[in-house]
């Protein structure tokens, strides 16, 4: 029994997090929901920045974001597949915990594409 428990624990550590695209309306006022536009996609990560228009998002990348004097909130989210998204998409992301860096880093739990 102890061996099975140990094996399950090890598997849980190495299983990738699932970020499900949802039709559920995510509340941008909740502390664990980030609202913004995608400015860059790298594999299974998307860089989301708050407070931009779609046009601003499509003309920016991480390098230009870091040059801004007062940079907006920004987070790299780990998602199932970056190919599901486009630069400029307005999304809301529910997450659980974020690394304290700039841009922040977190695993997406649910992603809502805002129309």
* Percentage of the chain modeled with pLDDT above 70: 83
Whole-angstrom distance, CA of residue 75 vs CA of residue 104: 4
Structure confidence at residue 48 (pLDDT): 98
Cβ contact 89:38 at 8 Å: yes
Quote the pTM value: 0.81
CB 50 within 8 Å of CB 76: no
Residue 51 CA to residue 37 CA, distance in Å, equals: 8
Given a cut of 60, whether residue 105 has pLDDT beyond it is yes
Question: What tokens does 100 get?
Answer: 């304290």
75 touches 32 (CB < 8 A)? no
pLDDT at 11: 39
- pLDDT recorded at residue 8: 43
73-84, pLDDT tens digit by residue?
999 999 999 899
Higher-pLDDT residue of 56 and 1 is: 56
Q: Provide CATH code, domain 18-113.
A: 2.40.50.140
Structural tokens at position 37: 């536009």
């Amino acid at each position: 029994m102890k061996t099975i428990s140990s094996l399950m624990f090890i598997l849980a550590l190495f299983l990738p997090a699932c970020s499900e695209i949802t039709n559920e309306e995510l509340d941008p006022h909740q502390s664990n929901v980030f609202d913004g536009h995608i400015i860059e996609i790298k594999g299974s990560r998307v860089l989301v920045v708050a407070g931009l228009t779609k046009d601003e998002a499509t003309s920016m990348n991480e390098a230009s974001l870091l040059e801004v004097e007062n940079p907006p909130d920004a987070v790299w989210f780990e998602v199932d597949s970056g190919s599901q998204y486009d630069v400029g998409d307005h999304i809301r992301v529910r997450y659980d915990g974020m690394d304290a860096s700039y841009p922040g880093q977190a695993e997406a739990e649910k992603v809502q594409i805002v129309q």
